[in-house]
Amino acid sequence: MGKYDEKISDNSVWITATPTELAKTLPFYITEAGHFTAEKDYMVQRETHDSFLFLYTLHGEGSVKSGDFEFSLPLGFAVIIDCHIPHEYHSISDKWEFLWIHFGGRSVISLFDITYPNNSVRAVCMKNAEDFDERINDITDEVKQNDIAANIHISSHMHSVFNAVCLAALEKENVSIKHNSADDVRAVIKYIEKNYFNPITVDDMIEDIHISKYHFIRRFKRAMGITPYSYLTNYRINMSKKFLRSTDKTISEIAQICGFLDTSNFITHFKKHTGEKPLQYRRDFS
């Protein structure tokens, strides 16, 4: 259910597309798209809609609400919202010109969660606006064709647009944090690279960083996608692969060199992350 008061100019563009079964197997597909010039009273309010929605302001200003988050969408700003939860958007200027795309796909949810953890949706400023506009225009041109090649191109273009929004959101998040978390993350990665063969803890990693362990772990995971200790384990496994493939050292020796507690611990972690035991991995490359 929803409420609509879609007062738009006569030159507004509205494109509908019914995705084929093939299109639905791709990372992204589009169901509708448009280029609207909306009047001041323009408003859309829904409880749910089976899609995600991309909005990008070209002129004027709109207002968007998604779940518990409400914000303005001024010139040059974009947002992606999950329409499966209550949402609304409306014009707050005399003329609001904006591009919009309803879409779905196999990669949408994972990228959405990276862009907006805990569904903390917000508008982001899109730099290099001309390039961004061109990508979206490419999408609307392809939608009209709806053949296999067009569906593949649409998926690729939508991935590019989503990536741009995601990177802008991450950049905005880093700028809003007074503490320079990017430098701290890089410092810890360097520490891991120099000390992975030693029995180190997260407390050791942040000894020279003046921030609580809880906040650092959260920021590290936001930047790298995993916790600091998981990153350490991955790094140790990557180093062990080099030893397995380029030396005759025993499994026990490699476990010790790479900082694992013992041989059993090494084998357990290696199999968990690679799907096979170290000896089998060595045989595969011998």
Candidates 2.60.120.280, 1.10.10.10, 2.70.98.10, 2.60.260.20; correct CATH number of 2-176? 2.60.120.280
Structure tokens at 203: 């407390």
pLDDT at 176: 53
Both tokens assigned to 236 = 């140790």
User: Residue with structure tokens 């030693």?
Assistant: 198
User: Which pLDDT score, from 0 to 100, does residue 174 have?
Assistant: 66
* pLDDT at res. 69: 94
- Assess if CATH 1.10.10.60 describes domain 181-284: yes
Distance CA 30, CA 43 (A): 22
Residue ranges matching CATH 1.10.10.60 in the chain? 181-284
Model pTM score: 0.78
Handedness of CA 117, 120, 126, 131 (dihedral sign): positive
Say how far apart CA 150 and CA 98 lie, in whole Å: 23
Give the per-residue pLDDT at 199.
92
Residue 144: per-residue pLDDT: 73
Residues forming beta bridges with residue 98, ordered by sequence position: 36, 57
| Strand 69-73 with 43-46, pairing | unpaired
User: CA 97, CA 22: separation in Å to the nearest integer?
Assistant: 33
Letter for the amino acid at 148? Answer: I
For position 30, what pLDDT does the model report?
93
The side-by-side arrangement of strands in the sheet containing 43-46 is 2-5, 43-46, 87-91, 62-66, 69-73
Report pLDDT for 29.
Answer: 94
* Domain span(s) for CATH 2.60.120.280 in the chain: 2-176
The pLDDT of residue 229: 93
pLDDT of residue 159: 93
Tokens encoding 121: 């949706």
Residues 48 and 84 sit within 8 Å (Cβ to Cβ): yes
Q: Three-state SS string across the chain, please?
A: CEEEECCECCCCEEEECCCCHHHHCCCCEEEEEEEEEEECCCEEEECCCCCEEEEEEEECCEEEEECCEEEEECCCEEEEEECCCCEEEEECCCEEEEEEEEEECCCHHHHHHHHCHHHCCCCEECCCHHHHHHHHHHHHHHHCCCCHHHHHHHHHHHHHHHHHHHHHHHHHHHHHCCCCHHHHHHHHHHHHHHHCCCCCCHHHHCCCCCCCHHHHHHHHHHHHCCCHHHHHHHHHHHHHHHHHHHCCCCHHHHHHHCCCCCHHHHHHHHHHHHCCCHHHHHHHCC
d(CA 207, CA 191): 11
Q: Across the 286 residues of the chain, what is the mean pLDDT of every consecutive 10-residue run?
A: 68 88 93 92 93 96 95 96 96 94 94 88 84 77 79 91 89 62 86 94 88 86 87 96 94 96 95 94 87
